[in-house]
Homo-oligomer: A and B are copies of this chain.
Amino acid sequence: MKRILLIIAYDGTEYCGWQIQPNGVTIEAVLNRELTRLLGEEIKVIGASRTDAGVHAMGNVCVFDTDTRIPPEKISYALNQSLPEDIVVQQSREVAPDFHPRKCESRKTYEYRILNRTMRDPNCRRNTYFYHWELDVAAMQEAGTFLIGEHDYQSFCSPATEAETTVRTIHALAVEKEGDLITIRITGNGFLYNMVRIITGTLLEVGSGKRKPDEIAEILKKKDRAAAGPTAPACGLTLMGIAFL
């Protein structure tokens, strides 16, 4: 019995998120189905990050146990033969039998991509959020600095959370503009339910002048979801990768 780790990229547009659901196709369900078919054993993957419906990934991670004789590094190639074109395994390798991707310390990096121009661009509609009004990137950058560090992010968390604590650490938060594309890149030791999307929705309010950058500090203090901005749409969000420490 070996434990195999997969690094998975997907275009989440057509999926009801990562986690198996009674109705609707999910990434986890497709991976279980195709791994079970490929390996001839019933496979149930353990995912590192349960991305929401419509959210994308360049490097989500999952593990599973198998008795297969296929060399660990070859599983990715074999599996990609039968996966739909919007899910692509980037790498497969053996890990320690007790490695659990949600029970060890890690750094997750998300990117939220905002297309800030007059007209929509159909060629990046699937993984950017279109925002018509001009955004003040410098104000968004300043606002972002208040979020870095260890904080109680309850204000930036959906009340639907099941997390035991809402304290997390954001190690880096950068807002960058290249042409019409504004990217918010956030690295942290874990993210609460909808946290990156609520941070983005709040930074969009700062960028459009509805809030001042230093209001972020007050929002954090309030520990109240109602104090923060709206949840930005899923389509702009991509889980870029996870580093295990």
Question: In whole Å, how far is A156's beta carbon from the nearest beta carbon of chain B?
Answer: 25
Question: In whole Å, how far is A17's beta carbon from the nearest beta carbon of chain B?
Answer: 16
State in angstroms the CA–CA spacing of A168 and B120 once bound together.
33
Listed stretches A81-89, A102-110, A182-190; interface member: A81-89
Which residue of B has the minimal Cβ distance to A10?
Answer: B122
State in angstroms the CA–CA spacing of A20 and B123 once bound together.
22
Question: In whole Å, how far is A54's beta carbon from the nearest beta carbon of chain B?
Answer: 13
Please report the total number of A residues contacting B with Cβ < 8 Å: 24
- Determine the chain B residues whose CB is within 8 A of the CB of A9 once the complex forms: 119-123
* Any B CB within 8 A of the CB of A116: no
Q: In the complex the two chains form, is A88's CB within 8 Å of B58's CB? A: no
Q: In the complex the two chains form, is A91's CB within 8 Å of B119's CB? A: yes
Which residue of B has the minimal Cβ distance to A125?
Answer: B85
- Determine the chain B residues whose CB is within 8 A of the CB of A126 once the complex forms: 123, 126
Interface centre among A9, A120, A238 (most CB of B within 10 A): A120
Q: Interface residues of A: mostly helix, strand, loop or mixed?
A: mixed
* Any B CB within 8 A of the CB of A68: no
Known: A85-B125, A86-B125, A125-B11. A120 touches B80 (CB 8 A): yes
State in angstroms the CA–CA spacing of A63 and B56 once bound together.
38
Interface of chain A residues 38 through 74 with chain B (CB within 8 A)? 56, 58
- Determine the chain B residues whose CB is within 8 A of the CB of A11 once the complex forms: 122-123, 125
- Determine the chain B residues whose CB is within 8 A of the CB of A89 once the complex forms: 119
* Any B CB within 8 A of the CB of A26: no
- Determine the chain B residues whose CB is within 8 A of the CB of A76 once the complex forms: 119
- Determine the chain B residues whose CB is within 8 A of the CB of A87 once the complex forms: 122
* Any B CB within 8 A of the CB of A194: no
Q: In the complex the two chains form, is B119's CB within 8 Å of A88's CB? A: yes
* Any B CB within 8 A of the CB of A90: yes
27 sample A-B contacts, Cβ–Cβ < 8 Å, listed by A number: A9-B120, A9-B121, A9-B122, A9-B123, A10-B122, A10-B123, A11-B122, A11-B123, A11-B125, A58-B121, A58-B123, A76-B119, A80-B119, A85-B120, A85-B122, A85-B125, A86-B122, A86-B125, A88-B119, A88-B121, A88-B122, A89-B119, A90-B118, A90-B119, A123-B127, A123-B238, A126-B126
